[in-house]
Amino acid sequence: MPGSKLIILDRDGVINRDSDLYIKSPDEWIPLPGSLDAIARLNQWGWRVVVCTNQSGIGRGLFGMDTLIAIHDKMIKAAAHAGGTIDAIFFCPHTNADNCECRKPKPGMLKEIAARYNVDLTGVPVVGDSLRDLVSAAAVGAQPMLVLTGKGKKTRSDPALPQGTQIFDDLAAVAKKLTS
């Protein structure tokens, strides 16, 4: 990936509104203010944007793959409408009970991204609103970045916050920092 940089974003609570009841349909996927413009800004400054998201609603039987694809299609189109591109979406469909390697806080999805893009994730920004996002980032040497949207305000006070976690108001603030 010469000439381009990689940033990895969690989905719910970072790009779109989060829900304790899960995002179960395209209608429930609502972008957070400024998040799509932030993706476009990152792209304009040479960043490749990859989404890395736990989607245990599939494993719980709350929605199927067709619905997840429709939600992600809406997100990709909304980003494109704002002038941005989401390069890829990696997701874990499992529940905690599955004890898989891909479900954050385990670093399996991030390792898969590293393999797919043939990059070392050391220092790569990983943006999330929950402790599991930041823990998985720290596990691979990436730079954990906490946004205070979604569950972020609650996460900020967690004593297990990885050392060196950078804290931002939202994805737009992350994009501003990385592009100025």
Q: Which residues are catalytic?
A: 10, 12
- Cα–Cα dist 65/41, whole Å: 30
Residues of the chain by 3-state class (helix, strand, coil), percent to 5: 40, 20, 40
- Cα–Cα dist 110/122, whole Å: 11
Compute how many other C-beta atoms are within 10 angstroms of the C-beta atom of residue 15.
28
Cβ pair 165, 145 in contact under 8 A: yes
Strand partners, 111: none
Cβ pair 119, 5 in contact under 8 A: no
